[in-house]
Amino acid sequence: MQEKGTISIHTENIFPIIKKFLYSDNEIFLRELVSNAVDATQKIKRLATLGQYSGELGDTTVEVSFDEKKKTITISDRGLGMTAEEIKKYINQVAFSGAEEFVEKFKDAKDANEIIGKFGLGFYSAFMVADKVEINTLSYQEGAEAAKWTCDGSTSFEISKGKRKERGTDIILHINKDSEEFLDKWKLQGILDKYAKFLPVPIKFGTKTESVEDGVDDKGEKKWKSVEVDNIINTTTPIWTKSPSDLTDEDYLKFYKELYPMSEDPLFWIHLNVDYPFNLTGVLYFPKVKNEFELQRNKIKLFSRQVFITDEVKDIVPEFLMLLHGVIDSPDIPLNVSRSFLQADGNVKKINSYITKKVADKLAELYKKDRTAYEQKWGDIGLFVKYGMISEEKFYEKGKDFALLKNTNGEFFTIEEYQSKVKPNQTDKNEQTVILYATDLEKQDGFIQSANKKDYDVLVMDSPIDSHFIQNLESKLEKTSLKRVDADVAEKLIQKDETYANLLTEDQSKEVKEIFDKAINNKTYTVEVEGLSPEELPVTITMEEFMRRMKEMAATGGGG
């Protein structure tokens, strides 16, 4: 029996459109077909577990192979297979029924993922690289007949009896002229590594040579021989699918090295695992970075059911956590929609705040568990925490309890601790507590020294993010202002009893001040003369904090 059919759509042929449109992303045909093979395999396994299939499962390895001469790529599985009826239903109808709509809407789609998701064109992505596709399949069902389907990319297909004896499906792609680059071992291996490295079913791609022990030689030394073994390209149970209680630190570090072979060990990690109200698993690592210029974004990989989707996790991961490394796997992230839809999507919003909360909880835990160790890591973590507190209100609320401030003596304080520390000695007449900070320990050394002499404490705020962090703190902390150590705050603070004697008389001081005022001749600067001990700087020249910030803004073109 042979059956021919025509797909009833008005558009002559949608494949040229698919091909043209998806051209830049055409390697994902392999992701789609391998995913289908994996899905089919998982389905038969589930049927077996449920007792709805009682035959042998056999070796369920999915195999990808190619033939350079015949110019074919074949994806074979031992999944549940399809009957001819099912082919008509799942392959013909699904894609073709949407064709008109597709042609109507394809112009709005932004990338291949969108098209595939929106129009259920996973299987049809094969036509991006093939001008003819064959399906050879045998369903697991009792008495099923093998079926064969071919389609040359026009709107007609052919279904006939097949010859397949084993349960499962072969998809054979007859690669088109423009896509012959895919008939290459390294090319295919590369694509499989990218998309299929963590799929849950073993995937074989050719063989590889391995050295194995082969007894001992005359001298009693081990002998080795080369053997050909299956080249299984994937790890079927990557760590994010496992329970944290079954994993050791080594497992996490090993996985990190697998993802980022060139990177230093991470500082720590967070295992994500939720199943309500959305599904999400993953492991996020805090990378060790020396300075913010080294930070790279888009190092988090997004998976959906262990299929790699993209490195672009913007909108899913909060902006300030884009600097983290690791993987996120969620079938609940819509992959097929536009960016603005993603931003508005309820699940995505929940995922976003879940991740924020998890990261905050982990940091709070590290802080509580071992403060000394936490202080030692602060140099690396601080940037993330500050960035998070500045950019997310919710994170500020949590972060304010484990964000640390470091003073010029190398001591660490929480914000609250620090406020209580400096309050008695650094509060001015208006009951404003003044926090002093230095942005450049070398250049501002004189000011730091003279502040310390007065028992004022000075914070170190010398990284680029600190200027934003300072403004943020100022807006959040009540009755508190932050001033750079060279600002003219000194005399406005209520001081403790002076512990030093002025070596200059009042007249002498006045005289020196006049000389400096005249020389500087600029009202925005304040000159202070304190003839203290001989090793002390006798004169400090300060500018009002407000004026300094104005000047800086003018210099950097405003903003900030």
Whether the CB-CB separation of 31 and 196 falls below 8 Å is answered with yes
295 binds, among Mg ion, ligand ADP, none (CB under 5 to 8 A by kind): none
- Least Å distance between CB 349 and ligand ADP? 25
Indicate the residue among 200 and 382 with the shorter CB distance to Mg ion: 200
Whichever of 86 and 100 has its CB closer to ligand ADP, that residue is 86
Residue found under tokens 């004026």: 547
Among 79, 81, 122, 153, binds Mg ion (CB under 5 A): 122
Separation in Å, CA 301 to CA 308, 317, 327, 478: 7, 11, 5, 41
Q: Which is nearer to Mg ion, 28 or 324 (CB)?
A: 28
* Residue 113 touches which of ligand ADP, Mg ion, none (Cβ within 5-8 Å per kind): none
The residues that bridge with 325 in the sheet, in sequence order, are 285
Structure tokens at 306: 């262990």
Instruction: State in angstroms the smallest separation of the CB of 190 from ligand ADP.
Output: 22
* Residue in 459, 451, 428 with CA at minimum distance from that of residue 530: 451
CB of 40 to ligand ADP, least distance (A): 3
CA distance 170 to 74: 7
Q: Which residue has the tokens 């990319």?
A: 153
CB of 403 to ligand ADP, least distance (A): 45
- Closest to ligand ADP by CB, 37 vs 389, is 37
Select the binding partner of residue 40 from ligand ADP, Mg ion, none (C-beta < 5 to 8 A, by kind). Answer: ligand ADP
Residue window 75-94: x/- pattern of binding to ligand ADP, with contact defined by CB under 6 A: --x-xx-x-------xx--x
Q: Could you give the angle at which helices 15-22 and 112-119 cross, rounded to 10 degrees? A: 140
11, 25, 120, 544: residue in contact with ligand ADP (rule CB under 6 A):
120
- Bond into 534 cis (ω within 30): no
Residue nearer to ligand ADP on the CB measure, 37 or 403: 37
Beta carbons of 351 and 333 less than 8 angstroms apart: yes
Return the range that interacts with ligand ADP (CB under 6 A); candidates 97-105, 120-128, 156-164, 305-313.
120-128
Least distance from ligand ADP to the Cβ atom of residue 189, Å: 21
> C-beta of 64: minimal distance to ligand ADP in Å?
12
Nearer to ligand ADP, 91 or 529 (CB): 91
Residue in the shown chain whose Cβ atom is closest to ligand ADP: 122
- Shortest distance, position 85 Cβ to ligand ADP, whole Å: 12
Torsion of CA 420, 424, 430, 431, to 10 degrees: 30
Using CB under 6 A as the criterion, what x/- string covers residues 17-56 for binding ligand ADP? Answer: ---------------x---xx--x----------------
The rounded distance, in Å, linking the Cα atoms of 255 and 375 is 26
Residue 227's alpha-carbon distances to 205, 211, 218, 224, in angstroms, are 16, 6, 22, 10
Beta carbon nearer to Mg ion, 28 or 327 = 28
Question: Does 134 interact with ligand ADP (rule: CB under 6 A)?
Answer: no
Q: What are phi and psi of 405, to 5 degrees?
A: -115, 135
Number of residues that bind Mg ion (CB under 5 A): 2
Binding residues with ligand ADP: total (CB under 6 A):
15
Taking residue 1's Cβ as centre, other Cβ atoms within 10 Å add up to 7
d(CA 283, CA 133): 38
> Is 169 or 408 the residue whose CB approaches ligand ADP more closely?
169
What contacts 479, CB < 8 A, 6 or more positions away? Answer: 431, 432, 433
Interaction with Mg ion in 30-49: which residues (CB under 5 A)?
A: 36
For the bound state, the minimum distance from the C-beta of residue 141 to ligand ADP, rounded and expressed in Å, comes to 12
Q: How far is the CB of 406 from Mg ion (least distance, A)?
A: 53
Burial class (CB in 10 A: 0-12, 13-18, 19+), 94: middle
Task: Round to whole Å and give the CA distance between 424 and 195.
Answer: 60
3-class secondary-structure state, position 77: strand
| Residues 310, 480: Cα–Cα separation, whole Å | 45
Site for ligand ADP in 157-196 (CB under 6 A): 169
- Do the Cβ atoms of 173 and 133 come closer than 8 Å? yes
Footprint on this chain of ligand ADP (rule: CB under 6 A): 32, 36-37, 40, 77, 79-80, 82, 90-91, 94, 120, 122-123, 169
Footprint on this chain of Mg ion (rule: CB under 5 A): 36, 122
